[in-house]
Structure 1
Amino acid sequence: MKYFLQVLFFALSFNAFAEAPIILNKNLKTPPPRIIRTCCSFGADVKVAGIPFLKITEITEVSKIGAHKFLGAKEENNGIVYTQNGGFIDLGHLRDIADFTGYLYSYIQSEKENENFSLKLGNEAGMKTVLFKIDADISNYDAAQLAGKIAYDLSVWHEISTYYGASYIPMVPERYSSFSLEDAYSNLLGVHLGIKSLLSDKPFEESMTDLISETLEKLEVVPSREDTYDAMIAVRDIWWSGKAKLPSRKVLIKRQFEVYGKVLPLLVDETRFEYANQNGLVVPHETSTQQDINALYSLNIKPNYKIPYDKIFGDVSKEKVITQLDFPALIAYAKEDSEKDLLENYKK
């Protein structure tokens, strides 16, 4: 279990200073780590297998949230908060995807004069490479939208790959958090705030700090840690199991597989648990000229054995390559598998 504890508590902290619209990076060809801030397991007082005295509660409160630092800093005081209009929000996820949006934007701006350039993004259940297909005169707005879409796709691939068995630390499965109810909305909110910060006239970090505060206020974040804790307890044994122990995949009872198009937050109250359409977020999908944003890039992944490629796409003789256009099929298969899993658990 020592490896599992490393996943929970090891945080990567870096410092950088950036002015909009370009985030400066000494080596843009070396992307940030896929997981910048290690956060968070959904639930409250969740037990850990093999360690009877340990219970995990990774929540925070609005008064403790610090200024945003590009690629992270402990002073950010990340964790999960509950908002009355946006559901549970994982601030670590939000900040990670905002920063990755900023990094990709910087990379696009630095390479756009080159025809058909690419970017290698490492191995996560397969080698990931982005192939860009853009014109040198791409606008700042379209470059930001493109960066946000790719960053979001990468967050979705993380959910897909961990569902099928990929993990940050060997022998420590992460399916317990795959497609968790706060993930997609938190990630997409990070994309939206990252794009706004890139296109603002403020430094990126300052803009992100202001936007996080303004957005949480708009979404009516609950004031205290205890309020978020109470919201978590209200959905115990409904959305997450109070009996299962980390890293069991049974910790999550409900998962959100609807992660494209318009992503809706799931709200808690005493009489209903439902998606809220009013504060839904749209995944970037077109440029300023209404061109399909998928036409500007291809996220190519050569899947390893963990991804059931043949079962989903059929046994083909050609080289197996997955792109962002294949993600819906992978998600649909995972959803069907999850429903079968829940049914089997119910029968037991």
Structure 2
Amino acid sequence: MKLKIVLLSCIYLFSPLSYAEKSEPKNEVDVVVDAPSGLRPCCAFGINMKSKLSIIPVPFFRVNNIVEVSDLASHHYNDGTQGVMASLAGNAEELNGLIYTSRGGIIDTAHVRDTGDNTFYLYNQIRGNLGIEMQRVLEAELRERVINLYPIPFDFNAQEQLKAEINLSGILAFRLAQWHEAAQWFGFTSVAGFKEYPSAYSPEDLYSNMLGAIIAMEIIEANPDLTLADYQIQYPIAFLKHLKELGAQDGARTKEVMDGLDGHWWDSKKRLPDKWVVKTRDYQPRLTITPHWGDSDERETLSLEPYAYLEKWGDATFVATNHERHFKALPAQLTNKSTWTVADLSDIAAFAKAADDKEKLSNNHLIKGQ
């Protein structure tokens, strides 16, 4: 839902409707960790981007997506739909955007935080329940997103079980991020009437998502009993540490890199929500990711592959709803299935890539090996 800030701004400019702002947080001792609802309003892949409402250009409105490390010291769990108008006004406590790192390429901080929050939520559901049958149905994104735990015995000791539950939470949160990319390509909307095509399979997304899961797994492992308040304090500390290790750069360097990618990876001449604002996409739903950009050959590869074996105890599935018309172009081997598993994500991504490769505006050849 990276386009939400753009789309809601258009509505805000041309409509009398108002949007309620997030209220002050309650005392978070003993607060139940609810499932994140919606994703953070943030960043299409580009800078100083223009937007339009339907076919009408929106004057004087551009999205400046660049942030500095110093902007990222606050983190608010589930800061999606609740903080939209604060983001528009520029006075949100939690800020998000793109930041260039010399070892991790371009990081979308909203994606980092969203997958971190999903990891923390799933950990609170999974902890102590490994090997027990359980199901959690999450907010639909064209299809219902369902987290399943299976009654499969294990021989872990207590410490190993805890570690397994933390790692399973991270990989399942990342699976949700993989699905989100597919749902956007097929027309998922978080604001009625506005497709999120530019965000689908955006080349920085999944690396950022995986980084978010890894950060959350790290802070949970350090303090398995952390409360929601603890999580909101610890997450930005760990995030800033990882950004430093990845060689985070200042805003001027991020702008320089993004300007260099203009016309190849993204197109500043297009207006959001035109799909071809983003010209080069990364479709492959893998568990090991090397960034597409960096200042040296020492790019930092991230991987959740070592934890894939845990998915026999729990997995993410995507169950048919009344929105199946969005998927009618898919081959019958997929449309005939009421439940998709993560194994189907590769076929769905391959279909999307094949369709986009036929478009003259696509530059997908810039990503080798997909």
TM-score range normalised by the length of the shorter chain:
0.7 to 0.9
Matched, 1:124 2:150: no
Which residue is equivalent to 2:194?
172
Tell me the SS of whatever aligns to 2:169: helix
Which residue is equivalent to 1:299?
316
Counterpart of 1:239, as a letter, is: W
Q: How does 1:271-290 map to 2 (within 5 A)?
A: 278-286=299-307
Shifted more, 121-130 versus 150-159: the winner is 121-130
> Number of aligned pairs?
326
Which residue is equivalent to 1:209?
236
Which residue is equivalent to 1:252?
278
Match of 2:51 among 30, 48, 51: 48
Match of 1:150 among 148, 165, 172: 172
Which residue is equivalent to 1:267?
293
Q: What 5-or-longer segments of structure 1 have no aligned partner? A: none
Match of 1:235 among 246, 250, 261: 261
TM-score (norm 2): 0.78
Deviation at 1:67, TM superposition (A): 2.9
TM-score (norm 1): 0.83
Residues 70-94 of structure 1 show CA distances to partners (whole Å, capped at 9, x for unaligned) of 3347323221111111111111110
| Native 8 Å contact 1:109 1:143 kept in 2 | yes
Deviation at 1:283, TM superposition (A): 2.4
Counterpart of 2:189, as a letter, is: S
Matched, 1:163 2:202: no
Q: How does 1:9-28 map to 2 (within 5 A)?
A: 15=25, 25-26=31-32
> Closer, same or farther in 2 for the Cα pair 1:14/1:47, shift >3 Å?
same
Which residue is equivalent to 2:116?
98
Shifted more, 246-255 versus 48-57: the winner is 48-57
Identity of aligned residues (%): 24
Deviation at 1:56, TM superposition (A): 1.6
Q: Work out the CA distance in 1 between the residues paired with 2:149 and 2:218.
A: 22
Deviation at 1:14, TM superposition (A): 7.6
Q: Work out the CA distance in 2 between the residues paired with 1:170 and 1:160.
A: 18
Tell me the SS of whatever aligns to 1:199: helix
Residues 236-294 of structure 1 show CA distances to partners (whole Å, capped at 9, x for unaligned) of 0011012111001010011112341311112156xxxx9x674111124537xxxx222
| Native 8 Å contact 1:118 1:131 kept in 2 | yes
| Native 8 Å contact 1:189 1:281 kept in 2 | yes
Deviation at 1:313, TM superposition (A): 2.0
Which residue is equivalent to 2:94?
76
| Native 8 Å contact 2:103 2:294 kept in 1 | no
Tell me the SS of whatever aligns to 2:346: helix
Q: Work out the CA distance in 1 between the residues paired with 2:211 and 2:219.
A: 12
Q: Work out the CA distance in 1 between the residues paired with 2:99 and 2:5.
A: 26
> Closer, same or farther in 2 for the Cα pair 1:207/1:320, shift >3 Å?
same
Residues 146-182 of structure 1 show CA distances to partners (whole Å, capped at 9, x for unaligned) of 1111111111111001101111112101011111111
Counterpart of 2:74, as a letter, is: A
Deviation at 1:106, TM superposition (A): 0.5
Tell me the SS of whatever aligns to 1:82: strand
Which residue is equivalent to 2:66?
59
Shifted more, 296-305 versus 230-239: the winner is 296-305
> Closer, same or farther in 2 for the Cα pair 1:277/1:332, shift >3 Å?
farther
Matched, 1:200 2:236: no
Matched, 1:337 2:344: no
| Native 8 Å contact 1:97 1:190 kept in 2 | yes
Q: Work out the CA distance in 2 between the residues paired with 1:197 and 1:157.
A: 25
Tell me the SS of whatever aligns to 2:59: strand
Matched, 1:33 2:37: yes
> Closer, same or farther in 2 for the Cα pair 1:312/1:153, shift >3 Å?
farther
| Native 8 Å contact 2:5 2:41 kept in 1 | no
> Closer, same or farther in 2 for the Cα pair 1:155/1:3, shift >3 Å?
closer
Shifted more, 303-312 versus 234-243: the winner is 303-312
